[in-house]
Amino acid sequence: MLSSPDLSFSRTLPIDVFNQLGELLQQMAQAVGSAALVLTEAVLARIMSESEWQKQKFTLVVSEQFSALLVGNQEENIGMCVAGSFPDLKKVSLPQGENGIEREFIPITQDDILYANLTFKSEAIASFISQLRDLFGHDSHTYQHLERYLQIPSLNDATLQGKFTLLLLEYLLPLQNQPFTASNGNFNYVSTCQPIEDALKKQISQERLLNQVTTQIRKSQNLQVIMATAIAQVREFLELDRLVIYKFDESTLNIQESALAPSSQSLHNWQQYRGCIVYEARATDAIPSVLNYHEKNCFVPPFQCWEKYRQGFTLAVDDVEKTYVLEECLLNFLRRTKVRAKLAAPIIFEEKLWGLLIANQCHDSHHWTESEISLLTSIAEQLAIAIYQSELMRSLTEEKQTLEHRVIERTMALREALLAAEAASRLKSEFLATISHELLTPLTYVIGMSSTLLRWPLGELSQRQRDYLQTIHDSGEHLLEMINDILDLSQIEAGKAVLNVSEFSLTNIVQRTVESLQEKAISEQIQLKLDLQIDPQRDRFTADVSRVEQILWNLSSNAIKFTPKGGGVTLRLWVEDDNAIFQVEDTGIGIPEEQLPLLFEKFQQLDTPLRRRYEGTGVGLALTKQLIELHRGRIEVESTVGIGSIFTVWIPQQPMSIVS
């Protein structure tokens, strides 16, 4: 609050009389000419909230010929309104009237009373200018402008002083005969209540308008439609000449934080602040359009005002001629765009100043009421919600498109990788099949000739020679088994395997499997048993008998291989529904749980010690699983290290027509 100057005149005045005195001082400034400076409390609008700068009113005239300062401190006088039409308002009771009936009244605010102080003393005026200057900060143009006027106030010209005194007496003498006191209770109840009723109706209309805007925001996601419709409705309701939405550029939003302090760097940042009018509603085409209008270089925002905008401050300028009298460039810009009064409410999105909702009156000054300020502020808040919804939807849409693009790219990459893997697998299978076929011919000669030599008369070969031939023959047979397994596996993976389905006896094939492995089990000191749990009436089965025997032989021989001496291997058989179930149980070394997923991989043995201790390529179990799946069956494994394993195979009965 600015302190009161050394006074030449002081008395209590109604606010309208105080305003007349201010107009009188402005007339004196016009008489002096262009050299006079005229300031009112409106110059504080850009650095203070309305409740702050309107607490003290003043009119300051500074020139070499005539200087004066009028200061008014504001207080309120309370009147009464007859109750009845407004049940929601708080009522008070007054003493009984002339008819003896106690009446209820509602307190209302009457015209303000100002304690006016008028001075012509140069020291008091200079002190007031100094206080006013310090409010704007040392770095502002306004501070430097006011600094020049500190040395101007001097004794007033006698002629001009006398002229003002005569005019002053014309205003003040009638007031002597018509005193105005706060205790005067002779109010006109009807005329006093009518403005309140009108105000309530207007408030209801404002609430209805705000509800319409809010509903539209909830229903629509089109930001352009929301913005254009909202400002058109609000402009028409408030009878504004022009209502616009000003938006800052994205680069501006990103440097707001660094530009709050008035440093040299932040001043450079302020020069980068750019934006433009993006939406506009006008009363008539005669009012010039400012759509897509960019601010000029004379816009150097005061940092105090900018920070207040970011905190939700609403700027109300009743008359730009008074508020911007010290900023010639800005005032000329407002004159060119036909702005006489303006109200700017911030649109804050995610704690950043997105833009401003600006109301203009183009021809005359305008006193912005509390209801107008409240409505514009509420609309700005709703527009911020609409912006948030729009940005959120845009972000979700972009994220969805990005995810879809990533999924497409990933799918294509996986497809290419799958095709490459399939091609590599096919080439590998073809290579193995080719090599296996090439090996079969010489291997057949090795097995055949060694068998022939073993059948020669004993006298022609020594025992050592026979042992060597037997080793060659057995190794050839083992190698032949491996090559046949690789060929079968390659054919299955290449999709060339064929099931030769026929009817056979389940009992016969398990018995043949046990008989073929009995000699091997005896040599390894393993007890090989057959456990038949099958109804003889369900013994007949249809499948590829040679493939089923191959499955049983691979599982049983594998169990014998990994069972220590003195252990046992049991082959069980039973039928459930249309499935033949084979189970091979051993008391061997078992399989660690973490290695079970690798059990049916090609060319895999489970660990290095096993590979060293037990021969084999790891093809047998992989082929077995492929043969089971070729029959549309399945296999399960239960194994415990040091106790043994149980392999259970389900083979469904095949239709006789299938050959695949």
Tell me the per-residue pLDDT of 117-169, one tens digit each, with 9 for 90 and over: 888 888 888 888 888 888 877 767 778 788 888 877 777 877 788 778 777 77
The dihedrals phi and psi of 11, each to the nearest 5 degrees, come to -170, 165
For residue 5, pLDDT beyond 70: no
Predicted local distance difference test score (pLDDT) of residue 46: 73
Residues 510 and 582 in one domain: yes
* Token code pair at residue 110: 């009457």
* Token code pair at residue 377: 């502020």
Residue 84 burial (CB count, 10 A): 11
Residues 299 and 165 in one domain: no
For residue 639, pLDDT beyond 80: yes
Name the band, by pLDDT with cuts 50, 70 and 90, for residue 458. low
Residues 594 and 648 in one domain: yes
Mean pLDDT in residue range 569-592: 93
- H helix runs in 242-314, sequence order: 250-254, 264-272, 303-310
Please tell me which of 444-458, 471-485, 487-501, 504-518 the model is most confident about, judged by mean pLDDT. Answer: 504-518
More reliable by pLDDT, 21 or 9? 21
Predicted local distance difference test score (pLDDT) of residue 1: 54
Distance CA 73, CA 117 (A): 9
Distance CA 344, CA 342 (A): 7
Mean pLDDT in residue range 349-354: 83
Residue 551's contacts (CB-CB under 8 Å, 6 or more residues apart) are 582, 624, 627, 628, 649, 651
Distance CA 533, CA 507 (A): 10
For residue 651, pLDDT beyond 90: yes
Predicted local distance difference test score (pLDDT) of residue 441: 75
Name the band, by pLDDT with cuts 50, 70 and 90, for residue 583. very high
Predicted local distance difference test score (pLDDT) of residue 310: 79
Predicted local distance difference test score (pLDDT) of residue 270: 45
User: What pLDDT digit, counting tens, does each position of 178-218 carry?
Assistant: 544 433 444 343 444 566 566 667 777 877 888 888 887 77
Average pLDDT, the chain: 77
Predicted local distance difference test score (pLDDT) of residue 657: 60
Predicted local distance difference test score (pLDDT) of residue 266: 45
- H helix runs in 263-369, sequence order: 264-272, 303-310, 320-323, 328-336
Residue 351 belongs to domain with CATH number: 3.30.450.40
Residues 556 and 642 in one domain: yes
For residue 617, pLDDT beyond 90: no
Looking at 306, 340, 368, which one is the last position of a domain? Answer: 368
Structural domain includes residue 144:
yes
Residues 176 and 53 in one domain: yes
pTM, rounded to two decimals: 0.49
Residues 166 and 233 in one domain: no
Residues 514 and 645 in one domain: yes
The dihedrals phi and psi of 366, each to the nearest 5 degrees, come to -150, 130
Distance CA 498, CA 79 (A): 108
Q: In the chain, pLDDT over 90 holds for what percent of residues?
A: 19
Distance CA 70, CA 38 (A): 11
The domain in which residue 605 lies consists of 498-652
Looking at 345, 368, 391, which one is the last position of a domain? Answer: 368
